[in-house]
Amino acid sequence: MLSIPHVTRTTARLVLRPLAEADAPALFAVFSDPRVARYLSRPAWTGLGMAAARIARDIEAMNAGRYVCLGIEREADHQLIGECSLFNLVEQCRRAEVGYALCHMAWGQGYITEALTSLLSFGFEHLALNRVEADIDPRNDASARSLERLGFVKEGHLRERWIVSGEVSDSGLYGLLERDWRVRAGSGARIQRQIR
């Protein structure tokens, strides 16, 4: 894969950029919120050091080309409101998984669809991905709707796949193929392809 430490993407309202050490408090605010962590495959963060360690791992991984993790910054006020990533990159199969989280105050405003549109364009165009997968908690209706808006198809349901803080949950598996993404882009879907 590529060395990708300085990827920056812009959309109408957002800047997607690599996380920096100074982002630790904002990232901690996102992942320590039980409402955000509710459907994640790990419990809510309990200390600021968890954010700092995560950012350090992300910087190292991006420098090594192992995955892409970008902070989602609202352009209007330069507030970090979440993150999105392409991880578990399998170069031979040209496949990756997508992950994302957004602070509670930014829910319901279309930011995830906007951010993932840009991230997926990067994945398909610059990483030459053929397939992107998502694994979500099937109870997370908002996440399922976001994926479906982007063209993901639900391809499977795995029972009792996760146990987080003693709670057992299922997985909904979604997939998006590059050729389906191209069809959506060609049919007038609002796909943003801005690279700066």
Q: Domain limits at 64?
A: 9-186
CA quadruple 15, 20, 22, 28: dihedral sign: positive
Q: Indicate whether 88 belongs to any domain.
A: yes
Summarised one tens digit per residue, pLDDT across range 69-82 is: 999 999 999 999 99
Instruction: Flag whether pLDDT at 5 surpasses 80.
Output: no
Contact 84, 100 (CB under 8 A): yes
Q: Indicate whether 13 belongs to any domain.
A: yes
Q: Indicate whether 32 belongs to any domain.
A: yes
Look at residue 3 in the predicted model and tell me its pLDDT: 53
Contact 74, 83 (CB under 8 A): no
At residue 189 the predicted structure's pLDDT band, cuts being 50, 70 and 90, is very low
Lowest mean pLDDT, pick from 8-12, 99-103, 160-164: 160-164
Q: Indicate whether 196 belongs to any domain.
A: no
Q: Indicate whether 194 belongs to any domain.
A: no
- The separation between CA 53 and the C-alpha centre of its own chain, rounded to angstroms, equals 18
AA letter at 150:
L
Q: Indicate whether 103 belongs to any domain.
A: yes
Tally the residues of the chain: 196
Look at residue 192 in the predicted model and tell me its pLDDT: 43
Looking at the 3D structure of the chain, how many domains does it have?
A: 1
Contact 135, 100 (CB under 8 A): no
- The separation between CA 127 and the C-alpha centre of its own chain, rounded to angstroms, equals 15
Summarised one tens digit per residue, pLDDT across range 101-157 is: 999 999 999 999 999 999 999 999 999 999 999 999 999 999 999 999 999 999 999
Contact 102, 111 (CB under 8 A): yes
Which class for 146: exposed (0-12), middle (13-18), buried (19 or more C-beta within 10 A)? buried
> Domain containing 53 — which CATH number?
3.40.630.30
Look at residue 55 in the predicted model and tell me its pLDDT: 97
pTM for this one? 0.90
Q: Indicate whether 91 belongs to any domain.
A: yes
Look at residue 195 in the predicted model and tell me its pLDDT: 34
Contact 27, 71 (CB under 8 A): yes
Summarised one tens digit per residue, pLDDT across range 13-42 is: 999 999 999 999 999 999 999 999 999 888
- Please give the C-alpha separations between residue 47 and each of 12, 19, 29, 183, 185, in angstroms, as whole numbers: 33, 18, 10, 44, 42
Look at residue 184 in the predicted model and tell me its pLDDT: 84
Contact 19, 140 (CB under 8 A): no
Look at residue 48 in the predicted model and tell me its pLDDT: 96
Q: Indicate whether 110 belongs to any domain.
A: yes
Contact 194, 126 (CB under 8 A): no
Query: What is the C-alpha separation between 127 and 3, in angstroms, rounded?
Result: 10
Look at residue 187 in the predicted model and tell me its pLDDT: 60
